[in-house]
Amino acid sequence: MQMGETLLVLAALVIFSLVALQINDTKFDNNNDLMETEFELSAIGIAQSFIQEAQSLAFDEAVVDTTYTTGLPGYFTAPASLGSDGGESYNTFNDVDDFNGYTSTVTTPRIDYNVSISVSYADSGTVSPGYANRSFLKIMTVLISSEYFSDTLKVEYNYSYY
């Protein structure tokens, strides 16, 4: 082989190596994207399960205690007192706002998810969390994070007394 042919063969090998590395890199990125999407979909399912569980509970402690038939929303739990009552745990929650301040780690066969839940009143006009007064609307915000996906997943549910 002549020197020119040898240089052409070396150049072809370098180009082939670069193309092979690029294809491998693209395949690796696609696999990471697919796994992240799978983990995020699983996280949405976990958030939905907490929301569905809260849907089966009473709107407020005042509704659980049936002696409060008038004067609502004035008898609802004060905004600063939203959360589980003394002695209540996750298994004994009886109204939606008991989830306020709840945190948990949900372990699945593949990864762990960190769950944080907040519940607040909402103004029916703006429908945004953090309303400082009692109202007939509460918003549950479920935040889920994991080291295996880049952003914290946020799912909100509007829970109405009516």
Instruction: Give the span between the Cα atoms of 24 and 127, in whole angstroms.
Output: 47
pLDDT 10s digits, 115-153: 999 999 998 888 878 788 899 999 999 999 998 888 899
The answer for residues whose C-beta is within 8 angstroms of residue 138's C-beta and 6 or more apart is 59, 96, 97, 119, 120, 121, 122, 158, 159, 160
- For residue 49, the 8-state DSSP code is H
The answer for residues whose C-beta is within 8 angstroms of residue 35's C-beta and 6 or more apart is 148
Residue closest to 121 by CA, chosen among 111, 113, 131, 112: 131
Residue closest to 144 by CA, chosen among 50, 10, 64: 50
Residue closest to 90 by CA, chosen among 57, 43, 41, 44: 57
Residue 45: the pLDDT is: 94
Containing domain of residue 154, as a range? 3-160
Domains contained in the chain, number: 1
pLDDT 10s digits, 59-99: 998 887 666 667 778 888 899 999 988 888 888 899 999 99
